[in-house]
Amino acid sequence: MSNIPETGRTPRVRIRLVIIQVLVFSLFLTLGGRLWYLQVRNGDEYADEANGNHVQRVVDPAVRGSILDARGVPLADNQTRLVVSASRTELMKMKDDGDAVLTRLAGVLGMTPKEVGNKVRLCDDETPQPCWNGSPYQPIPITDEATPRQALQIRERAEDFPGITAEPTAVRRYAAPGGARTSQVLGYLSPVTDEEIKAAENTSSPFLRSDQVGRSGLERTYDKYLRGKAGVTSYEVDKLGRVMGKTQADAGTPGSNVVTSIDARVQSVAEYELNQAMKTARQQTDKITGRKYEADSGAVVVLESKTGRVVSMASQPDYDPNAWVGGISGKDYARLTTKKSNYPLLNRATQGQAPPGSIFKVISASAAVRAGHPFDGTYNCSSSYSLGNRSFKNFESKGYGPISLGRALEVSCNTVFYALGHKEWKADGGNKPKNPDDWFYRTAKEFGLGKETGIDLPNEVSGRIPDRQWKQDFWEANKDAWCKQGKKDGDYAERIAFENCREGNRLKAGDSVNYAIGQGDILVTPIQMATVYAAISNGGTLYDPSVGKAIISPDGKQVEEIKPESHGKLPVDDKTIANLNKALEGVATRGTAAWRFGGWPHDKIPMHAKTGTAQVYGKQTTGWLATYTDDYTIVMTISQGGTGSGSAGPAVRNIYNAIYGLDAEGNQDPKTALLPKPQSELPKIEPDGSIDAPEIKPYEPQQEEPPAPEQELAAALAGPAPWRRD
């Protein structure tokens, strides 16, 4: 190896060659070092940048699951509409950024070029709506209401409409089968917000910008089941945005179907009858105010008594849920959210609260029994009850003399409960309470009042039990205002404020007396009272009312049943429950509700009822009617509609008639019966996603015939005089 020959070169040249060699290799070391720095040390950073460069995601939204009634009739499903969309990437490749194409398209769709242009522009800080706030790589919908003719024009002249597609796309539809809108129960969808996208970013079900989210009702509660998972295809694109290939295709899964316990037929009856009852009430004159009844809102709940499942739930005023589909218009939104419309978005069955009036007396009676007053004891039903200088009157100042608690419920005697309430208040120490038992308050709470029932609908309100703690809290929150307003010798309001300022934190005798008949500061929701009456009927179990019955996968293969759950037992023994049952049967046969159940086949279908009329300061009375048979509990309330039996009686009876197939005389025709027994089977969903749903016919109300004189007589004989009161 050492055969390097002698060279004639000078040392200078040799040194210079070494210098050259050193320089060359230091250059290469520099390159190597820099290469290592970029690739190995900072490689990840650049890999991210490269990803951002070339991957674009295209979202194929998942078809939202349907909401079905108990027999599979779709209450909310999807409708195929012709959606015309524009691909922004395609348009931007054109010399005029697609202006010519969009102008032609506007012509076909009957829109102005500006309208179309606004739809495809991208939202940014300076661009007001309308604009597109989704991914620019996503086809941008221009209209979802294209006619087949328009779609054909676009498709047949594809060369005139590059980048424009007209395709059938699934759009939410609330079909209102048989007229059952089920508005507030179903809820509605609206586009996902930036905050929600951010919040769900790192969860297992992240939102996509194109997502619609359930905002209320079942759409919200079961959103994660209904929504499914969108398919996301990541495309590799080149510098010009041309698609070079798929990197990753994440097939979406369509949303699951939610089967509810709602029966669309009963629902449509309930909606119709509620509306009808309110219309009727508005034609009647309130004797107290001398005005026609306002009947401004109302609700009806039909529960399966033995499971707490909701067979129907209607709330008035209602609205057409389809108003939300495809983005709600400003006009519609204003209409749904203003005072003038009286907030139709509210579900009065779960979000409306009022004092229960006399339907509370089942709780008072239970409380009295718990406090040691025997159910069958004798209590004086005087025409009025005096408390200090105040006199609490019975309805129409009528007295019944000594009666049992059961009879007191039948005739809805106030004075019996006034006296019991007062007695217990005194037993608890009166104005100087000492280890109070508070039986009346405790029992109400143990009946589930004052807190949510746990129904699977969002934003349920809790109602209110005005116990000592509440009095104290309420006083602390309001005393400043009261003390400012109150005058000792002022007008009525000022005197009340003065009194409240001084001792509003104390539970006074008058509070307890009033409370014993469900008046005053107590507030309940229809769903709470339905739960209570269902519990009385089923032997004492307080079920969490539920609308959702099962979640079924789109192919029908996976069925996840939602089992009824309870939030406790009634705090009374079986004997008391039996007594209550008997008394409530008496209400329907000879008590305050008897006049509304004339001709009812009590022997075949035992009817139980309790009427109530709540007084709300400054308003007309709110009527309540709580009823149940062996299988169903129906509670209806109409705000400012007069007495419970008066306003709600015919409606509730008509709902029962439809369920059991009864005519006005009480003859049963099993063929017309909609649901004589609760639906226990789940509807079948075929592997192809189709649902075996029966046809639905709209509800045809029975012809109202004026009651025959004999019947009226019979009804009158059945009970003590026509008790057109509660």
Partner 1 sequence: MAGGFSVSGYGPERGSWSKLFARDSVTRRLDWPLLLAAIALSLIGSALVYSATRNRTELVGDDPYSYLFKHVLNVGIGLALMIGTIWLGHRTLRTAVPILYGVSVFLVLLVLTPLGATINGAHAWINVGGLSLQPSEFVKVTIILGMAMLLAARVDAGDRDHPDHRTVVQALGLAAVPILITMLMPDLGSVMVMALIVLGVLLASGASNRWVFGLLGTGAAGAVAVWQLGLLDDYQIARFAAFANPALDPAGVGYNTNQARIAIGSGGLTGAGLGNGSQTTGQFVPEQQTDFIFTVAGEELGFIGAGLILFLLGVVLWRACRIARETTELYGTIVAAGIIAWFAFQSFENVGMTLGIMPVAGLPLPFVSYGGTSMFAVWIAIGLLQSIRVQRPMSA
Kindly list the residues in this chain that would bind partner 1 in the complex (CB under 8 A).
Answer: 3-10, 12-14, 16-17, 19-21, 23-25, 27-28, 30-32, 34-36, 38-40, 42-47, 49-51, 53-55, 236-240, 244
> For the residues of 604-659, what is the DSSP string, one character each?
TS--EEEEEEE--TTSPPEEEEEEE-SSEEEEEEEETS--HHHHHHHHHHHHHHHH
Question: Residue 650: is the preceding peptide bond cis (ω within 30°)?
Answer: no
**Distance between CA atoms of residues 105 and 112, nearest Å:** 9
CB of 341 to partner 1, least distance (A): 52
Per-position b or e across 611-628, b if 16+ CB within 10 A of its CB: bbbbbeeeebbbbbbbbb
- Do 500 and 475 touch, CB atoms closer than 8 A? yes
Cβ-based nearer residue to partner 1, 10 or 389: 10
Cβ-based nearer residue to partner 1, 41 or 671: 41
Cβ-based nearer residue to partner 1, 237 or 509: 237
Cβ-based nearer residue to partner 1, 9 or 575: 9
**Distance between CA atoms of residues 704 and 710, nearest Å:** 17
**Distance between CA atoms of residues 107 and 542, nearest Å:** 62
CB of 259 to partner 1, least distance (A): 46
CA angle 506-509-513, nearest 5°? 125
| Residue of 420, 531, 523 whose CA lies nearest to 470 | 523
CB of 41 to partner 1, least distance (A): 9
| Residue of 717, 701, 699, 601 whose CA lies nearest to 650 | 701
Sequence-separated (6 or more) residues with CB below 8 Å from residue 26: none
Instruction: Please tell me whether residue 326 adopts helix, strand or coil conformation.
Output: coil
CB of 205 to partner 1, least distance (A): 28
Cβ-based nearer residue to partner 1, 5 or 706: 5
CB of 121 to partner 1, least distance (A): 21
Cβ-based nearer residue to partner 1, 37 or 487: 37
Per-position b or e across 423-446, b if 16+ CB within 10 A of its CB: bbbeebebeeeeebebbbbbbbeb
CB of 33 to partner 1, least distance (A): 10
> For the residues of 151-206, what is the DSSP string, one character each?
HHHHHHTGGGSTTEEEEEEEEEE---GGG---HHHH--EEEPPHHHHHHTTTSSS-
Cβ-based nearer residue to partner 1, 19 or 122: 19
| Residue of 667, 669, 664 whose CA lies nearest to 703 | 664
CB of 241 to partner 1, least distance (A): 10
CB of 44 to partner 1, least distance (A): 8
- Do 280 and 642 touch, CB atoms closer than 8 A? no
Tokens found for residue 571: 């705090």
Cβ-based nearer residue to partner 1, 13 or 251: 13
DSSP state of 321: G
Cβ-based nearer residue to partner 1, 2 or 204: 2
Cβ-based nearer residue to partner 1, 30 or 558: 30
CB of 240 to partner 1, least distance (A): 8
CA dist 165 → 112, 156, 232, 290 (Å) = 18, 11, 19, 63
CB of 93 to partner 1, least distance (A): 15
